[in-house]
Amino acid sequence: MRTVHSLKELRNILKAYRQQGKTIALVPTMGNLHDGHISLVRKASEAADVVVTSIFVNPMQFGANEDLDSYPRTLAEDQDKLAPAGNTLIFAPPVSEIYPEGLANQTKVVVPEVSEGHCGASRPGHFEGVATVVTMLFNMIQPDIAVFGEKDFQQLAVIRKMTRDLMMPIEIVGAPTVREDDGLAKSSRNGYLSDTERASAPVVYQTLTNAARQLEQGRTDFTAIEQEAQETLSKAGLRPDYFNIVNSLTLKPATVDDSEVTLLVAAFLGTTRLIDNISITR
């Protein structure tokens, strides 16, 4: 496994693989890798000959007052985790390699509709930053396949629409959320939780599963279910950002006619923002 930091070196290596007829998969990450990320790499290694994992803490997707400066940079530890997971190449560029003219002068990619609401409403500009950097990674690496986690459900929807609308010849693969034994979705930001907060965190998944069970049993008063879920989270000491029941494809509010439904949640536990989701068929 090799680690490269420049676009020129990356393209030279990938050119050689393509000349050998090898297929290439990309796993975009911001590093500080956990088992969820590693599951994406393993899935990618099953689908392609060459796996490129990008490690780049993208400043464009962080808002003012978010954790850009404190976000963990753990390249050495990430290398140790990726080597046995079937990864071929790490692309870990500096910010200057991705945004040589600075963020203010960077062309941006905007994905309408699915970027709106939910995390898009709470984090203005976030999905613009995600769509822009992923488009750049797609152009730099030109993968046949790209693998993203389903935990970031809205992000996955944004990437799928962007890829489809811009007619990129890339297969987008979603991988199931990896969870701790108590149900908490694995996340790099879980490391911010204190011991007390960590003990409370599983209520997010518990609230999701309880609401999903009610939908599967035929309950259709979606607004009431959403309100009850937010009250449950508040009573457990969390500060709900949103709890939304949506059409799984459009991410618009679900109706009684929707058969494929996703429950989306974001809540603050202390200063840590946790997100999760469950999709069901009614």
**DSSP code at position 177:** P
User: For residue 33, what pLDDT is reported?
Assistant: 96
Is the separation of the CB atoms in 85 and 233 below 8 Å? no
| In the block, residue with structure tokens 């899935």 | 43
User: For residue 65, what pLDDT is reported?
Assistant: 84
Give the C-alpha separation, 95 to 57, whole Å.
Answer: 8
User: For residue 64, what pLDDT is reported?
Assistant: 87
Provide the CB-side half-sphere exposure for 85 (13 A, CA).
24
Give the C-alpha separation, 20 to 14, whole Å.
Answer: 10
Give the C-alpha separation, 55 to 32, whole Å.
Answer: 9
Give the C-alpha separation, 193 to 127, whole Å.
Answer: 25
Which pairing describes strands 145-149 and 24-29: parallel, antiparallel, or unpaired?
parallel
Order across the sheet with 272-281: list the strands: 239-247, 260-269, 272-281
Give the C-alpha separation, 72 to 97, whole Å.
Answer: 20
Is the separation of the CB atoms in 268 and 236 below 8 Å? no
Is the separation of the CB atoms in 55 and 28 below 8 Å? no
Which runs of consecutive H residues, i.e. helices, occur in the chain? 7-19, 35-47, 75-82, 95-98, 119-122, 126-141, 153-165, 195-200, 203-216, 222-235
Is the separation of the CB atoms in 241 and 122 below 8 Å? yes
Q: In Å, how far from its chain's centre is CA 251?
A: 16
pTM for this structure? 0.95
Fold of the 188-281 domain? Pantoate--beta-alanine Ligase; Chain: A,domain 2 (3.30.1300)
Residues in the chain: 282
- CATH number belonging to the domain at 2-175, selected among 1.10.760.10, 3.30.230.10, 3.40.50.300, 3.40.50.620: 3.40.50.620
| In the block, residue with structure tokens 């989270």 | 233
- Please report, for residues 45, 123, 240, 242, 278, the alpha-carbon distance to residue 237 in angstroms, rounded to integers and kept in the order given: 40, 22, 9, 15, 22
Judge whether 118 counts as a catalytic residue.
no
* Burial of 195 per CB tally in 10 Å (0-12, 13-18, 19+): exposed
Catalytic residue among 34, 37, 118, 126: 37
Which two structure tokens, joined as six digits, stand for 154? 């809205």
| Beta-bridge partner residues of 266 | 242, 275
* pLDDT tens per residue across all 282 residues of the chain: 999 999 999 999 999 999 999 999 999 999 999 999 999 999 999 999 999 999 999 999 999 889 999 999 999 999 999 999 999 999 999 999 999 999 999 999 999 999 999 999 999 999 999 999 999 999 999 999 999 999 999 999 999 999 999 999 999 999 999 999 999 999 999 999 999 999 999 999 999 999 999 999 999 999 999 999 999 999 999 999 999 999 999 999 999 999 999 999 999 999 999 999 999 998
Domain positions in the chain are 2-175, 188-281
Q: 2-175 with 188-281: one CATH topology?
A: no
